[in-house]
Amino acid sequence: MNYRTDVEAIFTTLGLAPVPDSPNGIAVRTPIDASLLARVAVSSDAQVGAAIARAQQRQLNWREVPAPKRGELVRAFGEAVRRHKEALGRLITLETGKIVQEGLGEVQEVVDICEFAVGLSRQLYGLTIASERPEHKLLETWHPLGVVGVISAFNFPMAVFAWNAALALVCGNTLVWKPSEKAPLSALALNALLLQTARAQGIDPQGLSELLIGERAVGQALVAHPAVKLISATGSTAMGRSVGIACASLFKRSLLELGGNNAAIVCPSANLELVLRGVVFAAAGTAGQRCTSLRRLLVQRSIHAPLVESLRRAYERLPVGDPLAGGTLVGPLIDERAFDAMQMALAQAREAGAQVHFGRREAVGAAGAFYVRPALVEMATQHGPMLHETFAPILYVVPYDSFEQAIELNNAAAHGLSSAVFTQDLREAELFTSARGSDCGIANVNIGTSGAEIGGAFGGEKETGGGRESGSDAWKAYMRRATNTVNYGATLPLAQGIRFEV
């Protein structure tokens, strides 16, 4: 099949111009068969500076628009995305190799966060605080931050931007987006749809959301620009460390959503049918290429052997293949580099004495595509490669004896994104979600580590970066807080009882 023609048809369906072919641009290839989808032009230094300048200028009047009116744009954008859900989902599949259901699910996330942000646009609240001084009022107010820079990863080429954009826009900010060089077509389509929606709403789209295409140098220029007040970056821990240090040196805010080495604990009382379904989706979904993918399974020794055998049988029959085909559950890895990293990790596990089931390349598709059967790795103890994140479908299984030991193993990883426990014991569930339990930003009970809803704040601790996106009060990251003291009296009493008479 000619997937390049397919992409052109999707852009036409969206009412967008075709992506101009740039002979010296980034070559975008589909993981399905490694064929060329497009060559996308890279933003020059001058274009980066001009885009940020437009966003900075536009924000000066966008901040004056009442928040509920800003929410109207986000509402209309969400409706446009909903109308084009099938086309956008297919584009995600073509560009990233996600199965169709997951591509559609990602587009639904865009719709969901827009709906959340519309309601939020009428709830940007501050506090009124009791003053110690008579005839004084103490309160806090929240104001737009400015230009928000977004750096997104290939594995969620639309949802991560939407998580940031929907909140940033209703908070009165403008956007400059640098997507992954592995998935620029999804970004081009979604950003164009946002600007198209703005025009239809009678809103000048210039500077509202600027798109930058390129590799590391473009991201570095975005981070370094003084007009950009917040960098929200999603990607590897190594990338986040560079971004965080650069932002800190400029006293600039950073919101980091980085890697995850996520664990699930399986207790003797667990519903093992529920465990099987939850574990396989969390570990093998998106071909293991989620930051919330399940990487470590900690199983109580008394049920270890039968559960491993059930997982082995499930992995053996997992449909691996064309992500556009209806029955497929595991599509291709993004590229050869991901495949090589997976094979290196499995080789290290074998050297460490592990028993490795599956994980080899499947004879599917063209020579340049990398399909693998998800790997199941039995480890006697938690050590070696399983303490390092490999962005691929590898599930390490380790036995444990006591529940306290399992929590220690869960918390031993350098990352702290997502975690889960499968148990029917109320005390174990409560302990896992208590201050003595999981040290991750997400701690689930009787569901897997992946598949977060947009209503809750998303993010993690330690080498995951500490950022929070999406729901709850994550909007506060996109605004600046001011504390106001109002004296409505005729005298000037000072705080702390200080006397200063002139």
Nearest to 475 by CA among 209, 259, 255, 291: 255
User: b vs e for 368-391, b when ≥16 Cβ sit within 10 Å of the residue's Cβ?
Assistant: ebbbbbbbbbbbeebebbbeebbb
Tokens representing 315 are 């992995």
Q: Residue 439, exposed/middle/buried by CB under 10 A (0-12, 13-18, 19+)?
A: middle
Give phi and psi for 75, each to the nearest 5: -60, -45
Give phi and psi for 167, each to the nearest 5: -70, -45
**Partners of 332 in beta bridges:** none
3-state secondary structure 87-156: HHHHHHHHHHCCCHHHHHHHHHHHHHHHHHHHHHCCCCCCCEECCCCCCEEEEEEEEECCEEEEECCCCC
CA–centroid distance for 370 within its chain: 23
Q: Which residue type sits at 449?
A: T
> How many CB atoms are located within 10 Å of the residue 45 CB?
11
Annotated catalytic residues are: 257, 291
Residue 365 is classified by DSSP as S
Nearest to 51 by CA among 251, 254, 221, 229: 221
